[in-house]
Amino acid sequence: MTIGFEITAAVAALAALAIYVVVHQRKRTRENARAQADLDAWKLRLEQDLKRARDERNRLLDALGDAFLLVDDHGYIRFANSAARQLFGDRDLSDRPVREAFVDPRLAASVLRCLETGESIQSRVVLPQQTSPRGDQETRGLNAWIVDAARMDEDSIGGASTRIVIRDVTSEHQTEQIRKDFVANASHELRTPMAIINGYLENLLDDDMVEEPAMARRFLTVMRKHAERISRIVEDMLVISRLESGEAAALKVEPFRFRSCINDVIERLESLIQSQNARIDVRMDDEKLLLQGDRFYWTQVLFNLVENALKQNPHPGLRIEIGLEAAGSNHRIWVADNGIGIPSADLAHIFRRFYRVEKHHSQQEIKGTGLGLSIVKRAVEAHGGTITVNSVPGRETKFLMTVPREPAPAEEPAA
Ligand code: ATP
Ligand code: MG
């Protein structure tokens, strides 16, 4: 009896234990499953956060105006922002070697040197248009970039260890080039008349020519001509720099009769017009028309254009037309002549400072400095207008300016 009871008790205890184990195990399995689910959810959230952070970083880098790239130790591109992709013709740059992606070796050189040596490298690369990384044909001559490559201090980002910034400095490069050219050309232009004046002075003083009044007078006349030339060059350069500096915004804009401006120009050039037997026609619907602008600069614009036509065509029979007409909210002003014209190859350049059409000057003495048209262009632009030129040699050469009737104040040029 006792034995039977003990067995029953033992079985009951075992059963209870078994039930306990099963219940406990189920509980543990449930808890594990919950913990796993929590872990998965956490992982997912982490991945989503990471993706969001990465997208945000990429958006920020895409907002940069400069091209930005991350490169790994083997020279493979790991990241390229939108400016970088654009720079390389919208090509996909990811996982491509720098050497291959940066089409031109001159552009890749500083990056590769930084990768090899670990040194930070900044270099200016100037490439002619044909080899621009864009691979397309640009109309301007040269493109310039600052390539800045440096190793990153922290642990590599996504396998990348070097960052590259490429800044397009083409317009700064061009401005600098223009300034250099201007100084070089101006000194060159001033040197000739200075040398002539010095030569004559030497003759007068050292060779005692002063004692011979007829000869001395002849020398002095030549010297005066060259001194006048120097004055004109200096004056023209001052006008250009005034128009290019903030002073353009300080144009004295007031209404004036355009016709009286034309009369002044014809009067100043009267002797040349007479001696060349040239004819000047004025085309204006309303001779009393008032133009809003700076009378001083408009007189200079017309003077330079009419003087050019006369200077380039000394033969008789030249006809020059000066015209003005209203066109919507603009005025159209033109100066046209029927002279020798401008070869089409030169047309794109004649507004550049010191540019002269070689063909016009080679046989005879130099007729000018090449500053007249650049003054014309600056003055028209300072009035908010534009100027174009068309030329059919022997038939018509026409400078056409379009200016707003109410000129807006000129913008301050960028510093
Ligand atoms: P500057 O005006 O400084 O005394 P320039 O007359 O030589 O010198 P621009 O007025 O700038 O200089 O003109 C540039 C060149 O364009 C001239 O040298 C000339 O070759 C050409 N040119 C300008 N206007 C005419 C024209 N109406 N017909 C033919 N050639 C012209
Ligand atoms: Mg001129």
In this structure, of 92-106, 132-146, 223-237, 262-276, the range with the lowest mean pLDDT score is 132-146
Neighbours of ion ligand 2 (CB under 5 A): 308, 368, 372
Å from CA of 361 to ligand 1 middle:
10
Strand partners, 284: 324
Q: Which of 170-184, 263-277, 302-316 has the lowest mean pLDDT?
A: 170-184
Residues near ligand 1 with C-beta < 6 Å? 236, 304, 308-309, 312, 337, 339-342, 350, 355-357, 360, 367-373, 397
Residue 242 pLDDT > 90: no
* CB contact at 8 A, 322 and 282: yes
> Which of 13-27, 29-43, 103-117, 285-299 is predicted least confidently?
103-117
* 8 Å CB contact between 342 and 389: yes
Count of Cβ atoms closer than 10 Å to residue 242 Cβ: 15
Query: How far apart are alpha carbons 311 and 340 in whole angstroms?
Result: 11
Q: What b/e sequence results for 260-276 when a residue is b if at least 16 CB atoms lie within 10 Å of its CB, and e otherwise?
A: ebbeebbeebeeebeeb
pLDDT attached to residue 368: 78
* Pair 240, 378: CB distance under 8 Å: yes
Region class of 114: left (phi > 0), else alpha (psi between -120 and 50), else beta: alpha
Among 19-33, 165-179, 212-226, 293-307, the range scoring the smallest mean pLDDT is 165-179
User: Rounded CA gap, 14 and 20, in Å?
Assistant: 10
Q: Are strands 142-151 and 160-168 parallel, antiparallel or unpaired?
A: antiparallel
Q: What is the pLDDT of residue 364?
A: 52
Residue with CA nearest ligand 1 atom 17: 356
The CA distance from 130 to 239, in Å, is 36
Report the SS3 class of residue 359: helix
pLDDT at 83: 92
Which of 229, 334, 356 is the best mutation target for the ligand 1 pocket, counting ligand atoms within 8 Å of the beta carbon and taking the most? 356
What residue ranges in 228-384 does DSSP mark as E strands? Answer: 254-257, 279-284, 290-293, 319-327, 330-337
| Contact call for residues 164 and 122 (beta carbons, < 8 A) | no
The label of the residue with tokens 């026609």 reads 281
- Of ligand 1's listed atoms, the one at least distance from the Cα of 374 is 11
CA of 365 relative to ligand 1 center, distance in Å: 14
- Reported as a single tens digit per residue, the pLDDT across 126-141 is 887 655 555 444 444 6
Q: For strand 142-151 and strand 77-80, is the pairing parallel, antiparallel, or unpaired?
A: unpaired
Average pLDDT over residues 9-19: 91
Give the pLDDT confidence of 311-324 residue by residue, as tens digits: 999 988 899 999 99
Q: Say what the pLDDT of residue 407 is.
A: 67
Q: What pLDDT is stored for residue 27 in this prediction?
A: 92
pLDDT reported for residue 249? 65
Calpha distance 393→312 (Å, rounded): 12
Distance separating alpha carbons of residues 389 and 368, to the nearest angstrom? 19
Cα 354 from Cα 370, distance rounded (Å): 4
Mean pLDDT score of the chain, rounded to an integer? 86
Average pLDDT rounded to a whole number, residues 386-406: 94
Q: How far is the CA of 345 from the centre of ligand 1 (A)?
A: 14
Ligand nearest to C-alpha 232: 1
**Helix/strand/coil for 80:** strand
How far is it, in rounded angstroms, from Cα 238 to Cα 253? 20
Nearest ligand for residue 350 CA: 1
Ligand nearest to the CA of 373: 1
Residue 280 in contact with residue 322, Cβ under 8 Å?
Answer: yes
Q: How far is the CA of 290 from the centre of ligand 2 (A)?
A: 26
The number of the ligand nearest the C-alpha atom of 228 reads: 1
Q: Can you give the pLDDT at residue 164? A: 93
Three-state SS for 328?
coil
Q: How many CA atoms lie within 13 A of 172 on its CB side?
A: 10
> Which is it for the CA torsion 364, 368, 370, 375, positive or negative?
negative
Q: Which residues contact 294 (CB under 8 A, 6 or more apart)?
A: 251, 252, 253, 254, 379, 382, 383
**Which band of pLDDT confidence, cut at 50, 70 and 90, is reported for residue 173?**
confident
Question: What pLDDT, on a 0 to 100 scale, did the predictor assign at position 93?
Answer: 86
Region 401-406: mean pLDDT is 92
Distance CA 111, CA 175 (A): 27
Residue whose structure tokens are 């001159």: 106
**pLDDT reading at 389 higher than 80:** yes
Pocket test for ligand 1, best of 235, 239, 269, 312 (most atoms within 8 A of CB): 312
